[in-house]
Amino acid sequence: MAKKTIGFVGPDGRTCMCAYTVSTVEQDRFTGAVIKGMTGMGPVMDALRGKKKWMLKIFPFPGKSLDDYKTAIITALETKEIDCAVIMPEDLIYDGIVDELIDAGYGDRIIGLTKEASFIEGDKVKAKTWMKRAGVPVAPFKVVDAKDLMQIKRIVTHFIRIHGGAVFKYPYSAGGKGSRPVFRVEDILDVRNILLKDYSENYKIRHGDRKWPLLIEAWKSEIEISFTAIIDKRGNFCILPTAMDYPLRFEGPPSQTNPVTGGMGAIGMHPGETPELIEMVGDKIIRPFVKEMKKGGILRPCILYPGCRVSIDPDTGKPVGILVYEMNIRAGEPEMQVVARRLKNLGELIVAALDGGLDAVKPDVRSDQISICIALVTGPGGPHGQKGYPDSYTKYEPVLINYKSLSKRGILIVPSNMSWDEERRRLISDGSRVCYLSKNATIKPGQKRGEVAKALRTALLQAFDFGLVRVVPREAEETFEPAQILYEQGNITEDEFNKARAAFEKANRLAIRRDPGRIYEEWDELFPDWQLNT
């Protein structure tokens, strides 16, 4: 087979990690490419590659409209810079980019669903009803007018009494941030009002002044596990390794001060992963789901990403039940990062999905490895007293990376929201989730997963604490640069300059969560007889 180039479409860390994995692990057969990668990705990948032979193509472009993406993808296909493309951002699918590429004659080279099928993620109420009809087990739910407080109160009170809590969901696309849990009757009004405030403008743009259908789900305090499945054009599928993300900004339970932000980190495998669980997901979720897609005429090569709650046997940890909370139509961020890092044949699976040959290809998984990634996000501070991600944050501050020290520690830096300042020849932060630190480790015979995960987490946290990746606060740079000039002019002492330099080298705008992977230690204690892949 001639070497192929696979384009991963989107600007974030998951696209970069997928392209990197394909380029490095399968370099004899595939090259990875990022379509729309932020301008900071190229310099980071160049630094990581050094003199190594693997290649990674990056096609940044300034716009972010549907036409901008469409033009970039078609141009790359026509010039044979890429052979196929995987659509990652759900908004592009909602807007119909796959339809546009099909109309342009490239549908057989694109992984992603059409606009008609985008309701699976983009309309949660319709998707829940559709899945229930297909026989897919879903969490108990009700739909009510978002302004009907009395009806909301009745439903939530019932769910709290029976299930221990409820979840309010904005029914349309919300970038993973439209879910708000309620555990006390007293919180119903506040949580409902905040959700209305946050999404009223979005809803009005979509549907005018019509009633807003609020989705209310029963809260299930069971094991949360994400699955990623690749589907081919004939309905064959394969389920990739499991993952677990850390969607809350801080450690601890969800609350109005600890919001769902988008992943602050991810681990893979999930400690509850077993062959029985993978089989259960295939039989109970993916197979009936794909059957319904065929029936509805919306099946085509795609990635499905169900977020589930799994019930387990308290003695063995083995799965005994599963419910789908939401079905997504793209790979998760950052879950796909740890999924990709444990795969040896991601490129092969993608090509097989396009060819309709997933029945003959199985995921080649590093089953004895754990992968952890932690997001480095923009923290508080700045000229306007910004609160930090996800609320308000500064942008366009310099990013400093110690590639040599990261490499010695076996840590991969995955760029996300960073750009390249051509004038000053340096990386700058675009805010939000600036980058990720990622590392794998092998579980050796006799080792507990918790021990391995703790060492992994410690390595990543030390890299952060030692400042191996920093976003320099604007105020620190503005203090240090004049001190440097004054020292060169002889107007301040060396001791004064060294103090200014030490403060500059310590300053860091970035923030992290410190707990990703700790769950392995908890599972080791709860299920001491659990063995890898049993």
Helix (H) or strand (E) holding 462: helix 449-465
Place of tokens 């990197």: 20
Q: What region does 454 belong to: left with phi over 0, alpha with psi -120 to 50, or beta?
A: alpha
360-372 tens-digit pLDDT: 999 999 999 999 9
Question: In this predicted structure, what is the pLDDT of residue 177?
Answer: 67
* Band of residue 295 on the pLDDT scale cut at 50, 70, 90: very high
385-417 tens-digit pLDDT: 999 999 899 999 999 999 999 999 999 999 999
Give φ, ψ of 222 to 5 degrees: -120, -165
Q: Where in the sequence of the chain do the CATH 3.90.600.10 domains occur? A: 375-473+508-526
Name the residue with higher pLDDT: 533 or 159: 159
Name the residue type at position 508: N
Q: Where in the sequence of the chain do the CATH 3.40.50.20 domains occur? A: 4-112
Question: Is the pLDDT assigned to residue 208 strictly greater than 70?
Answer: no
69-110 tens-digit pLDDT: 999 999 999 999 999 999 999 999 999 999 999 999 999 999
Tell me the C-alpha distance between 275 and 262, whole Å.
28
Query: Which range scores top for mean pLDDT: 1-5, 266-270, 497-501, 526-530?
Result: 266-270
SS3 labels along 101-125: HHHCCCHHHEECCCHHHHHHHHEHH
Contact indicator for 14, 334 with CB cutoff of 8 Å? yes
37-63 tens-digit pLDDT: 899 999 999 999 999 999 999 999 989
Question: Is the pLDDT assigned to residue 532 strictly greater than 60?
Answer: no
Q: Name the average pLDDT for the chain.
A: 92
Q: Where in the sequence of the chain do the CATH 3.30.1490.20 domains occur? A: 140-216
Nearest Cα residue to 426 out of 455, 401, 460, 406 = 401
Q: Where in the sequence of the chain do the CATH 3.30.470.20 domains occur? A: 123-137+220-367
Tell me the C-alpha distance between 37 and 416, whole Å.
8
Question: In this predicted structure, what is the pLDDT of residue 480?
Answer: 84
Burial of 29 (0-12, 13-18, 19+ CB in 10 A): middle
| Fold adopted by 4-112 | Rossmann fold (3.40.50)
- CATH of 140-216 among 3.30.465.10, 3.30.1490.20, 1.10.1030.10, 3.30.365.10: 3.30.1490.20
Question: Is the pLDDT assigned to residue 534 strictly greater than 50?
Answer: no
Contact indicator for 412, 338 with CB cutoff of 8 Å? no
At what angle are helices 494-506 and 474-488 packed, to 10 degrees?
160
User: Distance between alpha carbon 516 and the CA centroid of its chain, in Å?
Assistant: 14
Nearest Cα residue to 267 out of 339, 322, 315, 332 = 339
| Fold adopted by 123-137+220-367 | D-amino Acid Aminotransferase; Chain A, domain 1 (3.30.470)
Length of the chain: 534
Contact indicator for 110, 101 with CB cutoff of 8 Å? yes
189-203 tens-digit pLDDT: 999 998 888 888 877
Tell me the C-alpha distance between 414 and 374, whole Å.
10
Place of tokens 């990022």: 34
505-519 tens-digit pLDDT: 899 999 999 999 999
Pick the range with the lowest mean pLDDT from 114-118, 356-360, 422-426, 483-487: 483-487
Burial call 206-225: b when 16+ CB within 10 Å, e when fewer: eeeeeebbbbbbbbbebbbb
Question: Is the pLDDT assigned to residue 282 strictly greater than 90?
Answer: yes
Question: In this predicted structure, what is the pLDDT of residue 533?
Answer: 40
Edge-first strand listing for the sheet containing 418-421:
418-421, 426-429, 398-401, 469-471
Question: Is the pLDDT assigned to residue 207 strictly greater than 70?
Answer: no
Question: Is the pLDDT assigned to residue 176 strictly greater than 80?
Answer: no
Question: Is the pLDDT assigned to residue 485 strictly greater than 50?
Answer: yes
Question: In this predicted structure, what is the pLDDT of residue 175?
Answer: 63
Burial call 434-465: b when 16+ CB within 10 Å, e when fewer: bbbbbbbbebeeeebbbbbbeebbebbbebbe
Name the residue type at position 519: I
Pick the range with the lowest mean pLDDT from 30-34, 42-46, 271-275, 396-400: 271-275
Query: Which class is domain 375-473+508-526?
Result: alpha beta
